[in-house]
Amino acid sequence: MLFLRSFFRSVGVQTSGIRECYVLGLLNTKLNAVIPYFGSMAMTVAATALAKGLHFILSASDVVMIYLAVSVFVAIKFGRGPSVLFSVLSCAAFNFFFVEPLYTFEMYNRSSWLTLLVMLVTSMVISGQAISLRRQESSVRQSRTDAENEKLRNLLLSSVSHDLRTPLASITGASSSIAQDGDKLPRETVKDLARSINQEAKRLEHIVSNLLDITKIESGAILLNRQPYFVDELIGAALSHVPSFSISHRFETKVAAGLPLVNVDGFLIEQVLINLLENAAKYTQDGSVITVLASLSGGTVEISVVDNGPGIPAGDEQKIFQKFYTGHKEKGGTGLGLSICEGIIKAHQGRIWAGNAAGGGAKFSFTLPVAPPVPAEVSDD
């Protein structure tokens, strides 16, 4: 076995060496097509060496079995052409090394021809079976991913079209009513209609920008404008947006002293914090306390947003980061906010996770990479 392994290793080294020599695309493609045949040859040598090594305890039929077993491996690993090559080569090797007279392609016994023929046919049939098995498996895998993608697409379409149509319907209705009967309607009614147009348009804007963000993140089109920041600045900036989504929650902060600078896209991390704060406000009652914590943890800065609401239902800790997953339909979220957070944090090579705080409320945490130390000592005049 040791011999086999080192043999493979030497083949592997050799092929990768060849690959490095011919970096030209076309040659490389040709080479990739040829490599399995070399593999097949190598396997013939390996199987022969193995059989030869164990020859003193093996009968001729055992040797045939070794070749057949390896032929299955070759078929699965290298495909049809190389497996046919292996069948032929192994028959030849069997004849050469194991059939009297040894080390010639001749044979004394006519029945050896039959052995060889049966070996060739069996090896080919087994390989054929193995290959079709491999194909089936990969096509099952392919159709499974296709189905999953299809399901996701449908979910996206139905979710988006519903979320977009509802505000559009209100806007169309309210604005057409003002356009048609504006002069007959009481002033207060006109104002009411205008307010609902405004509110629904904001909802649309929210959905559309979320969709754009998630598309940007998923397509990898997101370019990070990384700069050093102190996290308290980013938390402060995010907290200044609170009035746009909450007037009744109490926001508190516990930021450890002396935290190092983090190396992040400040605008995007502010978005993550706003999303988490808004999420906390949405799922807790008026007057609840929402706390932002920041501390140093294992060489990264860890930030958490904790609330004292009902917490996350057991088993939902991961699901809530999935696209279009909303904890409560009636809260009217798009189910994209947390996916966006996850996308942004992952783009920063950070981690984001959810769980419940000791007190029972929900706790969302993420880590941010610490900035490299200041280039030179900052000198003040």
Partner 1 sequence: MTDQQKIAVLVIEDEPEIRKFLKAVLASNGFNPGFAATAREGLVLLKSHVPEILILDLGLPDMDGLEVIKNLRSWSGIPVIVLSARGQEQDKIAALELGADDYLTKPFSAGELLARLKAALRRSQQSVLQASVVFEANGLYFHAQDRVVKVDDVEIHLTPTEFRLLALLVKYAGKIVTHKQLLQDVWGKNSSENNHYLRIYTQHLRQKLGDDPLKPRFIITEPGVGYKLRI
Residue with Cβ nearer partner 1 (137 or 233): 233
Residue 260 interacts with partner 1 (CB under 8 A): yes or no:
no
Please state whether the peptide bond connecting residue 310 to the residue before it is cis, i.e. omega within 30 degrees of 0: no
Separation of alpha carbons 144 and 155, rounded Å: 16
* 380 makes contact with partner 1 (CB under 8 A): yes
Q: What is the distance in angstroms between the CA of the first residue and the CA of the last residue of the chain? A: 71
Residue 344, amino acid = I
Tell me the β-bridge partners of 364: 305, 354
- Binds partner 1 (CB under 8 A): choice among 163, 200, 270, 307: 270
Q: Could you tell me whether strands 300-307 and 262-265 are parallel, antiparallel, or unpaired per DSSP bridges?
A: unpaired
Q: Is 212 in the site for partner 1 (CB under 8 A)?
A: yes
Contact between 276 and partner 1 per CB under 8 A:
no
Residue 53 CB neighbour total at 10 angstroms? 13
Distance, CA of 146 to CA of 138 (rounded, Å): 12
Q: Give the DSSP H or E segment for 297.
A: strand 289-297
Residue 163 interacts with partner 1 (CB under 8 A): yes or no: no
- Other beta carbons within 10 angstroms of residue 14's beta carbon come to 13
The residue type found at 213 is D
194 lines the binding site for partner 1 (CB under 8 A): no
Binding mask 32-61 for partner 1 (x = CB under 8 A): ------------------------------
Judged by CB under 8 A, which of 49, 237, 289, 370 binds partner 1? 237
Whether 224 contacts 348, CB under 8 Å:
yes
Q: Is 374 in the site for partner 1 (CB under 8 A)?
A: yes
Least separation, in Å, of the C-beta of 371 and partner 1?
7
Counting contacts by CB under 8 A, is residue 375 touching partner 1? yes
Return the number of the residue (145 or 225) whose C-beta is nearest partner 1: 225
Which range of residues in 26-34, 137-145, 166-174, 262-270 is near partner 1 by CB under 8 A? Answer: 262-270
Q: Binding residue for partner 1 (CB under 8 A) from 128, 182, 228, 369? A: 228
Is 205 a binder of partner 1 (CB under 8 A)?
Answer: yes
Q: Which stretch binds partner 1 (CB under 8 A): 45-53, 56-64, 156-164, 230-238?
A: 230-238
Cβ contact 193:182 at 8 Å: no
On whether the CB atoms of residues 288 and 247 are closer than 8 A, the answer is no
Among residues 239, 260, 238, which one has the least CA distance to residue 249? 239
Q: Positive or negative CA dihedral for 164, 169, 170, 172?
A: positive
Pick from 66, 107, 182, 236 the residue near partner 1 by CB under 8 A: 236
253 binds partner 1 (CB under 8 A): yes
Q: Which residues bind partner 1 (CB under 8 A)?
A: 198, 201, 205, 209, 212, 225, 227-230, 232-237, 239-240, 253, 255, 261, 265-270, 371, 374-375, 378, 380-381
